[in-house]
């Protein structure tokens, strides 16, 4: 039983520890609105995550398809957090392709340069369905 508990952790704690979200509350909210899938099923924040589980995580950085290598609750540095999971090659290639497309659009002048205004940022957040805690 003790070894089973060592290899299991709540999914919201793990997402926070693996640095996919800045706060545990944001990780929990992402689970609530369906941006996290575990083994092909929508995951609740309280779901227990085990080593070997396959996750699909959608956040500002893109969509990640990963396999859990270590079930940890402790949040460490970015280098340590990357040892908690392994991203699939397809996922990495897709995120790189999208980043290249964004850079190309910026070069062509299709995207605005600089920071958006407060009004534009709120419109973008609403469009993207982001949740903010007030």
Domain of 28, CATH number, reads: 3.10.290.10
Helix, strand, coil % (nearest 5) of the chain? 45, 20, 35
Could you give the CA distance from residue 89 to residue 64 in angstroms, rounded to a whole number?
10
Q: Is residue 134 part of a domain?
A: no
> Quick check: 92 and 73 in contact, CB under 8 A?
no
Question: Do the domain assignments include residue 23?
Answer: yes
Domain tally for the chain? 1
Please answer whether residues 27 and 21 qualify as being in contact, where contact means their C-beta atoms are separated by less than 8 angstroms: yes
Please check whether residue 101 lies inside any domain of the structure.
Answer: yes
Residue 133 in domain: no
Find tokens 């290899």 and name the residue: 7
How does pLDDT run along the chain (134 residues), one tens digit per residue? 444 556 789 999 999 999 999 999 999 999 999 999 999 999 999 999 999 999 999 988 889 999 999 998 889 899 999 999 999 999 999 999 988 888 888 777 776 667 888 888 888 888 877 666 54
Cα 124 to Cα 121, 127, 128, 131, distances in angstroms: 5, 5, 6, 12
pTM (two decimals): 0.75
Alpha-carbon distance of 15 to 112, in angstroms, equals 32
Give pLDDT, residue 5.
Answer: 57
For residue 33, give its domain range. Answer: 2-128
């Amino acid at each position: 039983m003790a070894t089973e508990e060592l290899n299991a952790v709540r999914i919201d704690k793990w997402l926070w520890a693996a640095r996919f979200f800045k706060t545990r509350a944001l990780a929990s909210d992402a689970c609530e609105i369906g941006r996290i899938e575990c083994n092909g099923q929508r995951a609740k924040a309280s779901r227990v995550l085990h080593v070997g589980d396959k996750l699909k995580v959608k956040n500002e950085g893109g969509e990640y398809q990963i396999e859990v290598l270590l079930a940890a609750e402790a949040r460490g540095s970015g280098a340590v957090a990357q040892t908690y999971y392994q991203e699939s090659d397809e996922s990495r290639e897709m995120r790189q392709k999208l980043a290249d497309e964004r850079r190309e659009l910026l070069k062509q002048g299709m995207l605005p340069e600089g920071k958006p205004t407060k009004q534009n940022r709120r419109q973008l957040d609403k469009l993207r369905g982001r949740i903010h805690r007030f």
